[in-house]
Structure 1
C-alpha cells in the first residue's frame, strides 16, 4: 500500500471505471470483479455517492490488508488489487485499483459480472463462454463437430474452395483436399471442426437463413429458406436479394445501350450477408432473418457484439473488431470474399455513400444484432466514385416508384452493366455475362478488355478457376 497526496472531492466522479463506497463490503468486491472482466477500474472506499468523504471513517493498521485477503478469498481466479490511501478534504480514504484481467471471466462467489456504464451486470452463460474462449485465444468453430464425420463433407465444394483460395493468392494450398483442410486447422486427423461442417457439410447443416419480401410487417409476398453449407449459400442468398430489389435502366439514346442502377449497392448487400454468416452465434437456435420491404432491407443476426464493442464504435473507422468464429472468417478471407478483419462496416458505409438518402442502422436487440439499409422517397444527386477517366455523363433515372436518383456515372452502357455484375459476382464467366447482358461472347470479351485497359478490373488466377477483381 502506498500513501498519496491530498485530493479534492470535486475532482472525483463515478463513471464506467470508478465507483464510490462508504464502507468496504461484498458490493465493493463485486465491482472489482466486474472491472477485471471489462476494462479495469477502481473502487474508492470512504466516500458517498456524491464524492464527499464520510465523516468518522477511519482505517486501522491491518484494515486494508484484511480487505485484500477478503478479495483474494472470494474471487476465482483470485485477484489482488493495488491499494492506495489518499487524504480527501482532510479525511483518509482508500483506493482499490484492478486492471483488466488477462484470464477471464473472474467470478465473485460463483457469479460473473461485467461493467456497463456505471453499474455491474451479471453475465449470461453465453457471455461467460465467450470470455473464456477469448482468454484462451480460441473460438467455438475450432472445436470438434461431435457426431459428424469426415465423410459427411461435400468434397466437390472443398475442391472449389481450394481453387478459389489459390486463385486469390493470399495463401497457397495443396491439391490434396484433406491435407489442405488440416493445414487450415479445419480438420484434425479424422475429426472435423464445427467450422468445416458449417462451411462444407452435405445437405442441411442445421442452421437456417430465412429471406422474405414483405409489403407490410405482416404481409409476405415471397419467402425462401436456405440451410446448406455456408460456402455454397452465400451466392444463393445474394441472387435471391438481387432478384427482389428494384433496378433502374439508363438507356443511351445514341447506342441504345443500357446501364443498371440497383436500388441498393450490391457490394454493401453482399458484405452484410457475409458479416451475418461469419459472426452469427451458432450456439443459438435462432435463425438469421432477412426482410425486404419497399424502402428497406433488414438483416437480423443471432449473437450480439463481442467484447466491449458497441454499435457506436461501428460508426468509426478505427474500431477494434472481435471475431466470434475465427476459422470461418479466415476461410472467407482466404477466398477474397472479405478484405480484412474489422473493415466490414467501413466498406458498407463507403458503398452507400453514393446513395445520399440511404441510411445504415445498426442496433442490438434481444438475442442478436439488427442491421438495416433504408432510404427516403425523394430526388437525390448521386456521385459514383471515379473509375479511370470520368466521362462526365449524368443519368436521370427512377428506381421503381420510390427512388429518383441522378447518377453521375463515369462508365456507360454495357461496360457499366458488366461492371455491376462483376461487383456482385466476381466469379462470373463470359458465358454468364453474355446471357445477362444479351451480348455475344465476343461482345463480352470486348467490354472486359476495355475495362482491363482502363485499370478498372483485374483478372486474378487462371481463366478456369480465377475471378475478376474490381479495383478501387
Structure 2
C-alpha cells in the first residue's frame, strides 16, 4: 500500500542518516519540533537495500548528541513502511534556543532549513529566555538623555486611559514600567522618549509608478510623534470621495482606505520592527495600493499560514514598546491587529489585504480595483435624489482652503504650510486645474488663484 508520508514544516524524508539529517533535527529543535524519517526517498517510498541493525538507532542518537550544542537527544524508533523497516528520529521544540549544528544555526521554514543570521540568532536566544531586545540597557545612556516632557505626555495619556495608574514623577513611573534599570534607560525608553533622534527612520512616499516619486519624507523621532507624523503624511495623500445626499445636502467624506486599517499597519510597523536592523520602515503610496515594508520577519513560531488561518498566539519582539502603546490605548489587545484590519476593510467591496515575508522583512499591502464612493448599499428608495460628488485628495482640499484664505499664495508658501516639496505641490495643483477646481489668474508672481471648489457640507452644488 503506498505511503502518505510527505515532507512539510515538521516532517523530513532522508534516504540515509548523515549530517543533513542532523541539521534538520537541529532546525526542528529551534522551531516547533518534528520528525526525520530515515530510509525513505523524496516521494516517501522505501529505499531499496536500506537496513537498520540492532545498534543503528543508538549510534544515530549519539552522533546527534555529539554534533549539536547544547546537546539534544532525539527519540528514536522503527516503523514499517510498505513492509520495510524505516527509522524515525523525533525531537520536540527545545526550551533553550538556539541549538547549533557544527557551529551553525537553523530554523525550519515550510519544508526547508533556513540558516539564521546574527540578528536572528540573538533574537531567538532572547525569545527562549522570554526577554526582548528593548528591555536591555541602551549603551552608555543616562537618565539625562530622556526628554521628560515626552514622558509627562505619555503619563497623562496612560492615566486618562484607565488601563493603569502611574505616578506623576517621570523617574518613578519609568522605573515602575521597567523602562529604567538603576536609573539607566533601556532600549525601549530611548526609542520612545529620547531627547535626540535615534535614526530609526520611517521612509514614506507617494509614487506615480515604482520609479516615479511625487512626494516623500523621512520621518524619525520618538515613536508616539512618529506615529502622528506618518499618519498625517499618509492621510494627506489619500483620495477622498464625497457622497452628497440631494435631500439633506449632507456631504459624507469617504477616504480611499479605512484610516483605522492604515493606523493598525503603521502601529504594526513601529511596534514589531526589528530595531537591530539597519533597514528603514518603508511605506509606498500608489494610485490604488499602499505597501508597508517592515524590517524583521514574523517573530517567534508564527508563520504566514498561521496568520491566514487566524490560528496563533501573539509573540512580541519588543515587549516594552508594545506595552507602552497598549497602556495608552493605541492598541487594544495583543495579536488582534490583522483581524481589526480585515474587519475595517469589510465595507470596502473591492479592497484586499495581503502579507508575506520578503528577505529579512515583512511586507503588507492594501489594494483595490474600484474606489469606494458610497457608505453602504442603498435600496432604490434611498438612492432617489442622491449623487456622488467628485473624488479629490485630502491634500487638494487643504490647498483649496489655503487659496480661499489667501488667493495670492505661492507654490513655495503652500509647500511650507503643507510640509510638502514644491514638486509635490505642483502635482496636486495640476490635478486641481485638470478637474477645473482652480484657475490661475495673472502672472506667477503678481497673479492669484480663482477657486471653484467641491460643495461644502450643507451647501447645494
Smaller-chain TM-score bracket: 0.7 to 0.9
The answer to whether the Cα contact below 8 Å between 1:9 and 1:53 also exists between their aligned partners in 2 is no
1:469 alignment counterpart? none
Q: Are 2:204 and 1:228 aligned?
A: no
Partner of 1:207: 200
| 1:267-282 equivalence runs, <5 A | 267-282=260-275
Are positions 1:332 and 2:290 aligned together?
no
TM-score by length of 1: 0.77
Q: 2:388 aligns with which of 397, 411, 428?
A: 397
Give the deviation of 1:11 after TM superposition. Answer: 4.2
Work out which of the residue numbers 171, 177, 182 in structure 2 matches 1:184: 177
In structure 2, relative to structure 1, the CA distance for the partners of 1:89 and 1:358 (3 Å cut) is closer
The residue that corresponds to 1:302 in the other structure is 295
Q: How does 1:63-462 map to 2 (within 5 A)?
A: 63-253=56-246, 256-377=249-370, 382-383=375-376, 396-398=387-389, 400=391
Check 1:14–1:314 CA distance in 2 against 1; reply closer, same or farther (3 A cut).
Answer: closer
- Are residues 288 and 11 of structure 1, via their aligned partners in 2, closer, same or farther at CA, if it must alter by over 3 Å? closer
The answer as to whether partners of 2:241 and 2:392 remain within 8 angstroms in 1 is no
| CA 56–336 in structure 1, closer or farther in 2 if over 3 Å, else same | same
Q: Distance in 2 between matches of 1:63 and 1:289?
A: 53
Paired residues, number = 391
| Residues 371 and 54 (structure 1), Cα distance of their counterparts in 2 relative to 1, 3 Å cut | closer
1:204 positional shift:
1.4
Contact 1:198 1:205 in 2 (8 A): yes
Matched residue of 2:241: which SS?
Answer: strand
CA offsets 1:1-54 (integer angstroms, 9 cap, x no match): xxxxxxx65243333322233332222211211111122111222333333334
> Which residue in the other structure is 1:21 paired with?
14
Q: Distance in 1 between matches of 2:258 and 2:4?
A: 50
After superposition, the Cα gap between the structure-2 partners of 1:401 and 1:126, relative to the gap in structure 1 and judged at 3 Å, is same
- What is the CA–CA distance in structure 1 between the aligned matches of 2:170 and 2:7, rounded to whole Å? 57
Seen in structure 2, the aligned counterparts of structure 1 residues 22 and 215 have a Cα distance that, compared at 3 Å, is closer
Structure 2: segments with no counterpart, 5+ residues: 394-455
Residue 205 of structure 1 and its aligned partner are, at CA, apart by 2.0
Q: 1:226 to 1:202 in 2, by over 3 A?
A: same
Closer, same or farther in 2 for the Cα pair 1:252/1:53, shift >3 Å? closer
1:232–1:15 Cα change, 3 Å: closer
Contact 1:263–1:399 at 8 Å: present in 2 too?
no
SS in 2 for 1:64: helix
Task: Indicate how the Cα distance of structure 1 residues 22 and 246 shifts in structure 2: closer, same or farther if over 3 A, else same.
Answer: closer
Q: Structure 1, residues 167-200: CA drift from partner, whole Å, max 9, x if none?
A: 1111111111111111111111221011000011
- In the TM superposition, residue 251 of structure 1 has moved relative to its aligned partner by 4.1
Do the aligned partners of residues 93 and 376 (structure 1) sit closer, same or farther apart at CA in structure 2, a change above 3 Å counting? closer
TM-score by length of 2: 0.78
SS at match of 1:298: strand
What secondary structure sits across from 1:353 in the alignment? helix
The answer on whether the counterparts of 2:57 and 2:77 sit within 8 Å (CA) in structure 1 is no
Matches within 5 A, 1:460-471: none
1:346-395, Cα deviation, whole Å (9 max, x unpaired): 111111111111121212223312222222136776539xxxxxxx7896
Q: Identify which range, 148-157 or 334-343, moves more after superposition.
A: 148-157
> Which ranges in structure 1 are unaligned for 5 or more consecutive residues?
1-7, 385-391, 403-437, 440-472
Query: Could you tell me how far apart the structure 2 residues matched to 1:153 and 1:323 are?
Result: 24
| Residue-by-residue CA offset, 1:59-109 (whole Å, 9 max, x unaligned) | 333332222111111111111111112344443332211111111111111
> Would the alpha carbon gap of residues 66 and 172 (structure 1) be closer, same or farther in structure 2, given more than 3 Å must change?
same
Pairs within 5 Å for 1:2-17? 10-17=3-10
Query: Is contact 1:34–1:115 with CA below 8 Å preserved after alignment?
Result: yes
| Distance in 2, Cα, partners of 1:20 & 1:35 | 13
RMSD: 2.5
